[in-house]
Amino acid sequence: MNSVPSPTVDVNAGGHRVAELTIADMRRVVSERIAPLRPQPVPTHAAMGAALAEPLRPQSVFPPADTSAMDGFAVSGPGPWHVLDGAVTAGSERPRPLADGTATVIATGALVPPMTSFVLRRENARQLWGGRLVDVAGRRPGIGNDIRRRGENWTLDCVLARAGTVVGPAVMSAALTAERTTLTVRGPLRAQVVITGDEISTADGLRPGQTRDSLGPVLPTWLRDIGYAQTATEYRSDREFRDDSIVASADAPVIFVVGGTGHGASDHLRSVLHRLGAEIIADRILCRPAGSQLLALLPDGRVIVGIPGNPLAAVTAIMTTGRAVAHSLLGISVAPVRGRLTAAVRSGTGPARIYPAVQRADGAWDIDPCTRTAHLAGLINRTALAVVEGSGPSPTAEIIRFHAM
Ligand SMILES: Nc1nc2c(c(=O)[nH]1)N[C@H]1C(S)=C(S)[C@@H](COP(=O)(O)OP(=O)(O)OC[C@H]3O[C@@H](n4cnc5c(N)ncnc54)[C@H](O)[C@@H]3O)O[C@H]1N2
Ligand code: MOO
């Protein structure tokens, strides 16, 4: 929609042009201008994708009591043992103490009765004539007793995860094991996606001139991958986008506006930003695709990322600028990772080139130099973007992986 040049919308809030930024400069500006979210207590089960604002310390030692590590018999004293009636199952409270010379059936995870010497695994136990139990493994007392001792995994002074760690399934699960019912975190980060453009259609059957929306259903997956745990998506025609208050009213710290970043007749993002008193902090990034990105701050601190409409450019913008914004808001720092390429490539003296990439068995990355931007077919079976910068032939590139896929 921006094929018709327009002299009317080259505007930004301060009235002066903001320089095009390299990717490194964009990351620096983002970390300087976008402050981390305020830490807040969040129920542990609702904290997926947030970042720990404090080290994760246990609320309870683990295991909280001596428990059996195996199905078998809790035995007291040297054998053979007389097996008592009944069984100690997981979930039973306070089993009675075991008298010397006796044994009781016990289940994995059950509390070990006081006076237990060790747990005899079922496969190492035989009952003699008359019912007496013996240990056929001939264990030495105290060795491999198959009892999980209270606090042997962690005590209250342990740190299970450092501040800045993103809450994934392992962190959440460990926190629950440690009886942490709330966590002090930044996030979970929410994003509003606004897909603009008169030509974009989600309805059955395309009319001439329409373009199938190939981003709305998939952007939340990419966004979740880089730290936006919750996403809401809205569609607006160009005029609706220009006239309504979706950007003003969006209830999310980050608003991704898809399309309209250019200077074409229907590209209204700049004028909307101007009207809302936003400060543009990056106007174009020196990269291809996704050069036509805008990064702006609303007066209340919400961040607007204007991403190009071409689908591969949109994903590239999200994986570079969108990712840097998420890291800043979550208060985490992620050092760029470099990878070896299967063949040296030259980006030339111009902008950084960003290519779909996939890792070979030997660890080197194959890149696709000829990918088109109007669709995402070039990302099928690819697991990363490779960022190539510098004028000479480069044998390595920054690798930005897609973790969720
Ligand atoms: N005179 C110039 N024109 C353009 C330039 C330029 O440098 N000078 N850059 C081109 C590049 S590269 C890109 S990328 C686009 C960026 O334009 P916008 O951000 O304003 O995006 P639109 O014009 O709205 O859309 C571009 C393209 O993408 C299609 N699109 C948009 N949304 C979707 C969607 N949800 N699903 C599928 N496809 C979508 C849209 O129909 C357009 O074809 O500007 C170029 N022009
Ligand atoms: O930025 Mo366009 O993003 O090269 O397709």
Task: Indicate which atom in ligand 1 lies nearest the CA of residue 269.
Answer: 20
Residue 275, C-beta contacts closer than 8 angstroms, at least 6 positions apart = none
- Provide the token pair at 260: 């309209």
Residue 69: pLDDT over 60: yes
- The residue with tokens 């000479």 is 392
Bridge partners of residue 196, in order along the sequence: 236
Nearest atom in ligand 2 to 310's CA: 5
Structure tokens at 166: 């993103």
Per-residue pLDDT tens over the stretch 175-230: 999 999 999 999 999 999 999 999 999 999 999 999 999 999 999 999 999 999 99
pLDDT of 241 reads 92
Q: Which domains does the chain have, with CATH numbers?
A: 8-37+189-330 (3.40.980.10), 41-61+153-185 (3.90.105), 67-148 (2.170.190.11), 338-401 (2.40.340)
Is any ligand 2 atom within 6 A of the Cβ of residue 313?
A: yes
Q: Which amino acids bring their CB within 6 angstroms of ligand 1? A: 1-2, 5, 195, 197, 199-200, 211, 213-216, 258-262, 264, 267, 289, 292, 308-311, 313
Ligand minimally distant from the alpha carbon of residue 199:
1
How far, in Å, CA of 13 to CA of 200, rounded?
Answer: 28
> Beta strand 338-346 with 352-359: parallel, antiparallel or unpaired?
unpaired
* Cα-based angle 48, 50, 54 (whole degrees, multiple of 5): 120
Q: Indicate if ligand 2 lies below 6 Å from the C-beta of 290.
A: yes
Cβ–Cβ under 8 Å, residues 81 and 101? yes
Span from the CA of 252 to the centroid of ligand 1 (angstroms): 25
pLDDT tens string 303-354? 999 999 999 999 999 999 999 999 999 999 999 999 999 988 876 778 999 9
Handedness of CA 394, 395, 401, 405 (dihedral sign): positive
DSSP code at position 210? -
Cis, bond preceding 289 (omega within 30 deg of 0): yes
Ligand 2 centre to CA of 221 (Å) is: 21
Ligand nearest to the CA of 257: 1
The amino acid that residue 238 corresponds to is: D
Residue of 2, 4, 293 to test ligand 1 pocket, by largest number of atoms within 8 Å of CB: 2
The DSSP line for 309-361 is: SSHHHHHHHIIIIIHHHHHHHHT------EEEEEEEEE--SSSEEEEEEEE-T
Residue 121, both tokens: 């695994």
From the CA of 163, how far away is ligand 1's center (Å)? Answer: 40
Q: Which ligand is nearest to the CA of 211?
A: 1
Q: Is 289 in the pocket of ligand 2 (CB under 6 A)?
A: yes
Is the CB of residue 308 below 6 angstroms from any atom belonging to ligand 2?
A: yes
Whether pLDDT at 7 is above 70: no
- Tell me how long the chain is: 405
DSSP string, 46-99: G-TT-EESS-B--SS-BSSS-EESSSEEEE-SSSSBEEEEEEE-TT--SPPPPP
Q: Give the number of whichever ligand sits closest to the CA of residue 260.
A: 1
C-beta of residue 153 within 8 angstroms of C-beta of residue 62: yes
CB proximity list for 272: less than 8 A, separation 6 or greater: 241, 242, 247
Pairing of strands 102-106, 82-88: parallel
Which ligand is nearest to the Cα of residue 209, counting in written order?
1
Task: Specify the residue with its C-alpha closest to ligand 2, atom 4.
Answer: 289
Atom of ligand 1 nearest to the CA of 306: 19
- Residue 205, judged by CB atoms within 10 A of its CB (0-12, 13-18, 19+), counts as exposed
Most confident of 18-27, 91-100, 136-145, 206-215: 206-215
- The pTM assigned to this predicted structure is 0.89
Give the Cα separation of 16 and 174 in Å (integer): 51
Residue 306 and residue 260 in contact, taking contact as beta carbons nearer than 8 Å: yes
The residue whose CA is least distant from atom 3 of ligand 2 is 290
> Residue 67 forms beta bridges with which residues?
111, 148
The ipTM (two decimal places) reads: 0.95
Q: 1-15 burial string, b = 16+ CB within 10 Å, else e? A: bbeeeeeebeebbee
- Tell me which of 261, 263, 288 to substitute to probe ligand 2's pocket, judged by most ligand atoms within 8 Å of the beta carbon: 288
Nearest residue to 161 (alpha-carbon basis) of 56, 43, 62, 60: 56
pLDDT value of residue 394? 82
**Which tokens in the block code for residue 157?**
């002074």
For the chain, how far is it from start to end, CA to CA, in angstroms? 31
Query: Residue type for 389, please?
Result: E
What average pLDDT does range 85-101 have in this prediction?
Answer: 92
Residue with tokens 């040049």: 5
CA separation for the pair 114, 112 (Å, rounded): 6
The neighbouring-strand residues paired with 297 are 279, 303
Digit-coded pLDDT (tens) for 235-286: 999 999 998 879 999 999 999 999 988 887 778 899 999 999 999 999 999 9
Whether the predicted pLDDT of 161 surpasses 50: yes
Q: What are phi and psi of 123, to 5 degrees?
A: -75, -15
Backbone angles phi, psi at 370, to 5 degrees: -110, 25
Instruction: Provide DSSP, 152-180.
Output: SSB-TT--SB-TT-B--HHHHHHHHHTT-
Query: What are the tens digits of pLDDT across the range 357-382?
Result: 999 999 999 999 888 999 999 999 99
In the reported structure, the alpha carbon of residue 308 is separated from the centroid of ligand 2 by a whole-number distance in angstroms of 7
Cα-to-centroid distance, 271 and ligand 1 (Å): 17
For the sheet containing 189-196, what is the strand order?
228-236, 189-196, 254-258, 303-307, 294-297, 279-283
